[in-house]
Structure 1
Amino acid sequence: MPPSEPMPRLLITAGPTREPLDSVRFLSNRSSGRMGLALAAAGRALGWPTTLLLGPITTHHDPNAEPVRFETTADLSALLHEHWPGHDLLIMAAAVCDHRPARRHDGKLRREGATSLDLEPTEDVVASLDAITRPGQVRVGFALEPRDRMEQAARAKLERKHLDAIVANPLETMDSETVDAMLIDASGTTKAPTGQRKEIFARWLLDEIASRYSPGMVDTMPVQGLDADA
C-alpha cells in the first residue's frame, strides 16, 4: 500500500451480550467471539488502526491489543456511540441478544418464586447508529440463520438495518472454528471458500470489503495459508 494511502480505522464488535435476570443469572447465547477476534487480528496485521469491543468471553485475545469490554446490549450501544464517530469501517460480529428480561430482580430468584419470564426487545444497536453515521463510513453486519433460508433472511436484515454489506452464515457456525459464509451487498452475493478457518476467512472478508468500498484499503501482500483446503 502506498505510504500516502490512509489506513482505514476499523471498529469490531465480538462475543455475546448478557441480559441480567437477577444478581446471578442472565440471558445470553453461545457466541465464542472467535470471528470478531480473528477480524481484529487480521485488521492489525494489515496495519489498520483497530478497536475491538468485546463481550463477556474467556477466549484468548492478543495481550498487545487490549479490548474495550461490554456486557449488556445497553453497554455495547453506549460504546458504539462513543467510538463509531472516530472510525471508518464497522464490522458487527457480536451476537447481540434480541430480548432481555422485562424486569431485573434484586438478589436471587428462588424456586418458589415466579414461574414465568416476561421479555422485552433490546435496542437495535446498529440501526441506532444511523443518526451519527457520516458519508463514507461503512457498516457490515452478520446474520446467523438456518442454511435453507440464510441468503433471503440476510438480505432482509441488510435492508432493515441500513447496512452496506452483511455476512450470512449458518447456525452451525456459532462456536465453531470454521465458517461457511457469503458476503451480500447491493451488487450481489459472493461466496467465501467453504470450510475456512475463521482466521483465514477474516482476511478474505477484509480484502473483499476493502476492494468494494475503498480500493486504498487493499493490501498487496499475500495471505499466508489462504488456499482452497484451508
Structure 2
Amino acid sequence: LRENVEKLRAAGVHFVGPVEGALSSGDTGMGRMADPEEILKFSEKLLEEAGKLKGKKILIAYGRTEEEIDPVRVITNRSSGKMGYYLAERAKAMGAHTILVEGEISYQPPVGDEKHKVRTHAQMREVLIKLAPQADVIIMSAAVSDFRPEIRSEEKIKRGKALQLTLVPTGDILAEIGKNKKKGQVVVGFALESQNLEEVAREKLDRKNLDIIVGNTLDAPGSDFIDGFILDRNGNLTEFKGRHKAEVASALFEKIAEFLGA
C-alpha cells in the first residue's frame, strides 16, 4: 500500500488524511477518512494556488555532489534528491517556470522547464552563480560536499597499504548567493543537523542572508517523512512532525508565495 501511495504522490496526486477517529472495526486510531468538509477545503485551496507563481522563475538545486579521490572512487553523501523532486512538482503546479540544477540522485528525476546536470561542488557552484541573477526564488536543497580531496589521483589507487587522504573545505555556495541577493529575490536554504537544530538554523539564516530556512533532523536516507520546521527571517517558525516531503514542499511554497506577495 505504501509503495502504491508513493507512486501516486510522484504522479502528482494529493492526499487528504487519513485521520484519527472511530474505525469500522470498532477500534479508535489512525485510518479514518477525513471529513468531506476538510476534503472540500483542501481541493479549493489547490485550485486557488494553481496560478499563484505564474511568471515567476524558481531555481531549485537538489541531489548530492561527488568529489573524486581517483578515477573510480568518490566522496559523497546519501541524499536521494526526493525533496528536490517534490519541490519541482509543487513549483510547476503553482504555475512557475522551473530551472533545475540536478546533482546525483537516487530517485526519479523531476521535469523542469530547464535542467542543468552537475556532479561536483565546483560544477554546481558555477551553474548556480550563473543562473541566480535571473531567478525570483532560489531554493538550495542540494546536499553539497563540504570537503574535497586536496589531491586527486590520476590513476586508480591500488589496494594494499593504508591510505591517508587530506581533505580541504569547499566554498559555501548558498552564502555566496545570499551575499549577492537582488532586491525582492527570495533565497531558501536547508539545515540538516543531529543536534541543536533550531539554534544552527537561526545562525545560518542570519549568516547566509536567507529569507527562509527549512530545518530537518537526520532520518533514514531516502525517507519520505521528516521532522523539522520552516523558519523565516521575520522569526516565524512552523513545526512539522512525520510530514511527507510533498506536504513540506507545499507548506514551503505557501511561505514563498507570502514573501513574493502572490
With structure 1 as the length reference, what TM-score do the two structures score?
Answer: 0.85
Q: Partners of 1:49 and 1:64 in 2: how far apart?
A: 8
Deviation string for 1:4-25 (max 9, x for gaps)?
9863210001010101110000
Q: Which of 92, 102, 107 is the matching residue for 1:59?
A: 107
Aligned amino acid, residue 87 of structure 1: A
Aligned amino acid, residue 123 of structure 2: D
With structure 2 as the length reference, what TM-score do the two structures score?
Answer: 0.75
Of the structure 1 ranges 187-196 and 40-49, higher mean CA displacement relative to structure 2 is found in 187-196
Report the count of equivalent residues: 214
- Quote the residue 2:171 is aligned against: 123
Aligned amino acid, residue 84 of structure 1: A
Q: How far did residue 80 of structure 1 move?
A: 0.4
Cα distance change on mapping 1:110 and 1:5 into 2, 3 Å: closer
- Quote the residue 2:238 is aligned against: 191
Aligned amino acid, residue 163 of structure 1: L
Query: SS state of the match for residue 188, structure 1?
Result: coil
Q: Partners of 1:62 and 1:99 in 2: how far apart?
A: 27
Q: Which of 99, 118, 123 is the matching residue for 1:75?
A: 123
* Structure possessing the higher relative contact order (Cα contacts under 8 Å, 6 or more residues apart): 1
The structure with the larger Rg is: 2
- Quote the residue 2:252 is aligned against: 205
Question: Runs of 4 or more off by more than 6 Å in structure 1?
Answer: 1-5
Q: Partners of 1:166 and 1:68 in 2: how far apart?
A: 24
Q: CA RMSD in A?
A: 2.2
Matched, 1:34 2:87: no
Deviation string for 1:119-162 (max 9, x for gaps)?
0001111122246421111111000011x411011111112222
Q: Which of 205, 228, 239 is the matching residue for 1:181?
A: 228
Query: SS state of the match for residue 55, structure 2?
Result: coil
**Superposed counterparts of 1:69-218, under 5 Å:** 69-112=117-160, 115-130=163-178, 132-146=180-194, 148-172=195-219, 174-211=221-258, 213-216=259-262
Contact 1:23 1:106 (8 Å CA) reproduced: yes
- Quote the residue 2:64 is aligned against: 16
Aligned amino acid, residue 36 of structure 1: G
User: Once the two structures are aligned, what percentage of the paired residues are identical?
Assistant: 37
Contact 1:173 1:180 (8 Å CA) reproduced: no
Aligned amino acid, residue 253 of structure 2: L
Stretches of structure 1 that go unaligned for 5 or more consecutive residues are 217-230
Query: SS state of the match for residue 95, structure 1?
Result: coil
Aligned amino acid, residue 189 of structure 2: G
Cα distance change on mapping 1:197 and 1:205 into 2, 3 Å: same
Cα distance change on mapping 1:132 and 1:154 into 2, 3 Å: closer
